[in-house]
Amino acid sequence: MASRNQNRPPRSPNAKKEGLGGIPFDKRRKVETQGTGRRQAFSAVNKQDVTMNSDVGSIEDCGKVEFTKDEVLALLSERAKAGKFDTKAKIEQMTDIIKRLKVCVKWFQQADETHVQEKESLKVSLESAEQKYNHKELEARTKEEELHATISNLKENVVSLHEKLAKEESCKQDAIECHRREKESRVAAEKVQASLGEELYKVKEEKLAAKQKVTSLEDMYKRLQEYNTSLQQYNSKLQTDLETVRAALTRAEKEKSSILENLSTLRGHSKSLQDQLASSRVLQDDAIKQKDSLLLEVTNLRNELQQVRDDRDRQVVQSQKLAEEIEKYQENVGKSSQELDILIAKSGSLEETCSLQKERINMLEQQLAIASERQKMADASVSLTRTEFEEQKHLLCELQDRLADMEHQLCEAELLRKKLHNTILELKGNIRVFCRVRPLLPEDGGRHEATVIAYPTSTETRGRGVDLVQSGNKHPFTFDKVFNHEASQEEVFFEISQLVQSALDGYKVCIFAYGQTGSGKTYTMMGRPETPEQKGLIPRSLEQIFQASQSLGAQGWKYKMQVSMLEIYNETIRDLLSTNRTTSMELVRADSGTSGKQYTITHDVNGHTHVSDLTIFDVCSIGKISSLLQQAAQSRSVGKTQMNEQSSRSHFVFTMRISGVNESTEQQVQGVLNLIDLAGSERLSKSGATGDRLKETQAINKSLSALSDVIFALAKKEDHVPFRNSKLTYLLQPCLGGDSKTLMFVNISPDPSSAGESLCSLRFAARVNACEIGIPRRQTSMKPLDSRLSYG
């Protein structure tokens, strides 16, 4: 630093203490070049640093003052400004300035000298520098040429790069386009993510519940696996049994048919033989008659013969007498020789008749022999026919025995069928859920385009899946069976007919219809009885029961059916078959619980339910039931108009008790079929519900949640099942759980405005569908079939 400063003008004493140290190096250099314009090249000056050190010593004598151009100009301007101050100060200032200027002038003179020397040395260095410069210029030119070449190369490069750039640009545009699209999709994805987030939250909740369920299910699964293996063994055994029984059955059937054929041919044969017998009997009778007549004739002839013989004897006696007389007369010869000749002729003719009579007797005797021969033959054929007849009779008895045997086998096969049928139902699960979606009705508003229900078509869920779309979200569900809006009443009934058969086989069966008002519960249960193809499950079940009971009558079964129908409204039972028809006033009293009839529910030890004061009808024909159904529908509709659409706010329970006795096998069955049209499951907005409506809603909510509580408690095999929490569950207690069979229809309306309620119904049904009630009885207690059948 010190060496650099030596080439600069002395600094003014007024200059800032930090001096140039405070000014950036670049600025200082600029000042130097401006201020010392005479210097040729800074580098050259630097080279002179050592030589100039001696000169600097003289500058340092001037008080080590350095000046920059600005400072000098500032000094000069200070002088110019001086006029504004008072004279004394001005003089002092001026002298100071003059002093400083003198120093400055001195420094300039010294600097001039040093500059002359500097100039010379600079000239020398300039020359060498010029040489260097020329040399460098040459180098630079060659380099420039090289550079030109490289520039042209680079230009070419640039052109190609421009092309590339253009391409890149287009690529970039594409990428931007892509990016934009991606952005859009990302926004959509974010929306989806948000909805998924919501769903995730719900799913998490469900997962929690599911986890709990999983633990209980795992436990159950283990037990079920054990049960399953034993069941599989049992099943395979049953299958082999079934196979053998089937084979035996087919063999028996073949035998039976051949025997029947035999029998019919034998019958034909026997008939012909009987005909023959009859004809031979007739012949025999004829022959006997002929024989009798011949015998009569023979006796007549014998009599005649006897007479003739007597005559002859008499004649002989006479002739002897006559001969004696002749002898007497011969003595009197000549007297009566004429008389003698006549008498001889007479005796000759008599002898002739006698021989004729003899011939005739011989002929008759021959005829008699032939007739008796014939009679003998007829007798022989009769005895032959008789033995044949006996043989046929024996064969017939044998065949009848075999037929009875076959019928017995058939009875056993029927029992086995019941057993297998029940096993199949047990394997299907003792609680099942079917979903039925009704068609869109004109009163729904006919918004066909806004379909909210879809049916998945994948093979594993076909016929079992249903999707509900609500505000863009798809909720998929699967059940044991899903009926779409096109399903007919017949198709629906076909699926439950096996359950109805179970009731006839001695099981307790409950079929519920669940769903909001207007979703098709009553249509499913009752249908439109006036049009045969729209009849509901109740009339169809009854028809099946009557038909089956009649065909089972051939196997010795006699059935007795009892029917009752009731309604539960606001936790109060109302008899729909009561003969003294309830008036509107009584209805009101019944609802407030002040009616004379109590309808108390009790269960006996055999699992039979009894409701006091309830009307129960013995029915033996479908006609009788139809009239009862009509009566019930009428008393329900009376309630509907008078009690603010009560029908949709009450549970309808149809109960049929079936008791069957087989006198030949002494078996007994007691089954129960309950068909229940539940109250509408829709939630009422709490704010709008007051008074009676609020009471109704609370009662419905209570009983429906009691029903689900019972189902879930049974599924979890809890010690306490809250049957007593509602009238409905208490009434159905023996028919829920155990080895009873439960089916729930969840009815769905496709109307978009009902989507919320439909979702609630489907969720409820899905929870019920996840339940398995009851361990199949045969698994736990391998009871013989008979004992099972003798217990209701």
Find the residue with minimal CB distance to ligand ADP.
Answer: 520
Give the residue, chosen from 438, 481, 540, 651, that forms a contact with ligand ADP under the rule CB under 6 A: 438
Q: Please tell me whether 150 is known to bind a ligand.
A: no
Residue 521 sits in the site that holds ligand ADP (CB under 6 A): yes
Contact call for residues 28 and 42 (beta carbons, < 8 A): no
Picking from 697, 727, 698, 723, the residue whose alpha carbon sits closest to that of residue 711 is 723
Q: Map tokens 């006919």 to a residue.
A: 446
The CA–CA distances, whole Å, from 477 to 433, 453, 681, 743, 766 equal: 12, 11, 19, 17, 7
What does 557 bind: Mg ion, ligand ADP, none (CB cut-off 5 to 8 Å by kind)?
A: none
Compare residues 649 and 657 and give the one whose CB is closer to Mg ion.
Answer: 649
CB of 745 to Mg ion, least distance (A): 12
Closest separation in Å from C-beta 448 to ligand ADP: 15
Scanning 354-362, 444-452, 520-528, 595-603 for contacts with ligand ADP by CB under 6 A, the matching segment is 520-528
Contacts (Cβ under 8 Å, ≥6 apart) of 665: 411, 556
Task: Tell whether 515 is in a known binding site.
Answer: yes
Nearest alpha carbon to residue 631 among 643, 619, 648, 613: 619
Out of 10, 465, 518, 774, point to the residue binding ligand ADP (CB under 6 A). 518
Among 347, 422, 489, 522, binds Mg ion (CB under 5 A): 522
Which C-beta is closer to ligand ADP: that of 522 or that of 564?
522
Binding partner of 439, given ligand ADP, Mg ion, none, CB within 5-8 angstroms per partner class: ligand ADP
* Distance, CA of 605 to CA of 110 (rounded, Å): 141
One of 456, 515, 660, 737 touching ligand ADP (CB under 6 A): 515
Q: What SS3 class is residue 256?
A: helix
Which of 280, 284, 357, 519 binds ligand ADP (CB under 6 A)? It is 519
Nearest to 425 by CA among 509, 551, 546, 489: 509
* Residue 510 or 676 having the CB closest to ligand ADP: 676
CA distance 674 to 512: 8
d(CA 251, CA 458): 43
Enumerate the β-bridge partners of residue 601.
Answer: 611
Does residue 524 bind Mg ion (CB under 5 A)? no
Least distance in angstroms from the C-beta of 410 to ligand ADP: 40
Token reading at 292: 């009798």
Q: How many residues bind Mg ion (CB under 5 A)?
A: 2
Length of the chain as a residue count: 792
Residues β-bridged to residue 513: 677, 745
φ, ψ at 603 (rounded to 5°): -120, 130
At closest approach, how far in Å is the CB of 683 from ligand ADP?
Answer: 15
Residue 441 interface partner, choices Mg ion, ligand ADP, none, CB cut-off 5-8 Å depending on type? ligand ADP
Restricting to residues 661-700, name those near ligand ADP by CB under 6 A: 680
Site string for ligand ADP, 626-665 (x = CB under 6 A): ----------------------x-----------------
CB of 728 to ligand ADP, least distance (A): 17
Select from 389-397, 434-442, 635-643, 759-767 the region that touches ligand ADP (CB under 6 A). Answer: 434-442
Q: What share of the chain is helix, strand, coil (3-state, %, to 5)?
A: 70, 10, 20
Question: Which string of b and e fits 566-597 if b means at least 16 CB within 10 Å?
Answer: bbbbbbbbbbbbbeeebeeebbeebbeeebeb
Nearer to Mg ion, 291 or 649 (CB): 649
Give me 116's structure tokens.
Answer: 């002359």
Q: Which two tokens stand for residue 268?
A: 């034909």
- In angstroms, rounded to a whole number, what is the distance separating the alpha carbons of residues 175 and 332? 186
Residue 622 tokens, joined: 């479908």
The strand ranges marked E within 637-763 are: 651-662, 667-677, 741-748
Q: Are 699 and 570 in contact (CB under 8 A)?
A: yes
Tokens (6 digits) for 546: 């009557």
Residues 6 or more apart in contact with residue 303 via CB below 8 angstroms: none
Provide the pairing of β-strand 609-611 with 508-514: unpaired
Task: Report, in Å, the least distance between residue 608 CB and ligand ADP.
Answer: 30
- HSE-CB at 737 with a 13 A cutoff on CA atoms is 23
* Residues 556-585, interacting with Mg ion (CB under 5 A): none
- The residue of the chain with the least Cβ separation from Mg ion equals 522
Q: Which one of ligand ADP, Mg ion, none interacts with residue 10, CB within 5 to 8 A by kind? A: none
> By C-beta, is 534 or 779 nearer to ligand ADP?
534
Query: What whole-number distance in Å separates Cα of residue 317 and Cα of residue 233?
Result: 114
> Least distance (Å) from Mg ion to the CB of residue 576?
14
* CB of 570 vs Mg ion, minimal distance in Å: 17
Contact characters 470-489, Mg ion, x per CB under 5 A:
--------------------
Helix axes 87-331, 69-81, angle to 10 degrees: 120
| 280 touches Mg ion by CB under 5 A | no
> Roughly how many angstroms between the first and final C-alpha of the chain, as a whole number?
122
State the nearest-atom distance from the C-beta of 721 to ligand ADP, in Å: 28
Total residues contacting ligand ADP by CB under 6 A comes to 14
Pick 680 or 792: Cβ nearer ligand ADP? 680
Applying CB under 5 A, the span of 140-148, 172-180, 514-522, 575-583 interacting with Mg ion comes to: 514-522
Closest approach of ligand ADP to the CB of residue 747, in Å:
6
What residue ranges in 204-318 does DSSP mark as E strands? Answer: none
Query: Which three-class secondary structure state does DSSP give residue 741?
Result: strand
Q: Which of these segments, 38-46, 446-454, 516-524, 591-599, binds Mg ion (CB under 5 A)?
A: 516-524
Q: Min. distance of Cβ 515 from ligand ADP in angstroms?
A: 5
β-strands 667-677, 508-514: how paired?
parallel
Listed ranges 86-94, 437-445, 468-476, 631-639: which one lies at the site for ligand ADP (CB under 6 A): 437-445
> Is residue 516 annotated as involved in ligand binding?
yes
Query: Could you say which of 214, 317, 424, 441 contacts ligand ADP (CB under 6 A)?
Result: 441
Positions that interact with ligand ADP (CB under 6 A): 438-439, 441, 515, 517-523, 648, 680, 747
Binding-site residues = 515-522
Binding-site residues for ATP = 515-522
Positions that interact with Mg ion (CB under 5 A): 521-522
